[in-house]
A = this chain, B = another copy of it.
Amino acid sequence: MARQVHRAAIFHLRGDPGHDRGAAHYVDDGALVVENGHVIELAPWSDRFAGEQVTHHRNALIVPGFVDCHVHYPQIDMIASPGGQLLDWLKDYTFPSEARFADPKVAAEAAPFFLEQLLRNGTTTALVFATVHKHSAEALFEAALARNMRIAAGKVLMDRNCPEDLRDTAETGHADSADLIRRYHGKGRLTYAITPRFAASSTERQLALAAQLLAENPGVLLQTHLSENGAEIDLVRATYPDCVDYLEVYEKFGLATDRSVFAHGIHLSSEEWRRMGVRGSAVAFCPTSNLFLGSGLFNLAAADREHVRVGLATDVGAGTSLSQLASMNGAYKVAQLQKQTLDAFRLFYLATLGGARALGMDDRIGNFAPGKEADFVVLDLAATPLLARRVAHAKSAADRLFALAMLGDDRAVAHTYVMGERAYSRR
């Protein structure tokens, strides 16, 4: 693709502003230079760009494409289903919804809709659960290839403590995952993620085979759930009575690695957090989901203390929005309830570079360092009358970003670019 210059206010993070205040980089009138799908340069606007192919985005802010570190695409149709806490909600809504994906046509229709919704919300990369059905992962990978999106996903492994019609076996789950890795991992921008649902829904044999697959395939990720809800934790303890805590189950089988992304981690003990740090495992912080299911309040300070990588996530269908702006709104509130401070820079970090780091993709995406893949979002600072008015009263870049995080939704996304190409424009 030919060289292009995007002119607007531009914001990204060069590091974690939680540790380094200088990491936030804001250019009030900037030029983002893109060529062949990659970032060439980010600079203040100057006349030297005037002769080039320039797109001037007025009253707009360009940020890196959002990274969603935990989301279930087959739950897109059951988002916002009332259902008490986690285990009842799984039984009453999630499993019946996922069972529909036994029909390949259901998956083939849902996957493109889901990815279009991600783009509509400015999300260009996600770590995604499919269902137990192999073809559900195929459908998502094919739809992601067609859109050239950097997507990591896997078919669910689940051979016990679940409905009969959503069950694989240790052997079929392993064989299907291995075949999907062979066919899709590293193809285009795809990453495979080995996906046991959670410790209690897999037999020991299934977890052992999953770990073997992880060890054999460099670059493949591991995604699962960890310490979300009291009843879930009790079930894991009852299922693995020889393990002292939830994390130890994953450790025992070799699944707690620096390529592992654990969703939630709300109720981890300080000892478990310490071991998360030692293992180098990452956590997906899912605020709207944690509030919706009443699971509890994620303790970001505890993760920070042990230098655990954290990325923000929607966790749809339990999350109530696919917008990472809505996740930032929720994350701020979760922090506030614990008297923790989360500023605008950190919120945007968690949804961009922080997420990329959690997925081990920060060599490719997450900010506008030269050479990175040019996934970015053009945010409209006047998307609604209230946002426009609030932004007009903003006193700083941080204030504008914060207003976007609190008041923004899919309307704030004017355009989403994937590898420098416009993949979505708001009508």
Contacts and interface: CB of A to CB of B under 8 A. Distances in A.
Interface residues of A, number: 48
Nearest to A293: B336
Assembly stoichiometry (copies) = 2
B291 A389 contact: no
Contacts of A333: 291-292, 294
B389 A113 contact: yes
B389 A77 contact: yes
Contact of A291 (B77, B292, B337, B386): B337
A19 interface: no
Contact of A337 (B84, B294, B393): B294
Contact of A80 (B113, B337, B402, B411): B402
A390 B321 CA distance: 12
A339 interface: yes
A85 interface: yes
- The residue in A77, A335, A386, A390 that gathers the most chain B C-beta atoms within 10 A of its C-beta is A386
Given A78-B393, A81-B399, A320-B407, A292 B332 contact: yes
A407 B80 contact: yes
Contacts of A406: 79-80, 292, 320
A337 B344 CA distance: 25
Contact of A389 (B76, B296, B385, B403): B76
Interface string A360-403: 00000000000000000000000011100110010000110011
A82 B344 contact: yes
Interface string A290-302: 0111101100000
A269 interface: no
A410 interface: yes
- The residue in A80, A291, A409 that gathers the most chain B C-beta atoms within 10 A of its C-beta is A80
Contacts of A399: 81-82
A57 to B, nearest CB: 22
A399 to B, nearest CB: 7
Contacts of A84: 341
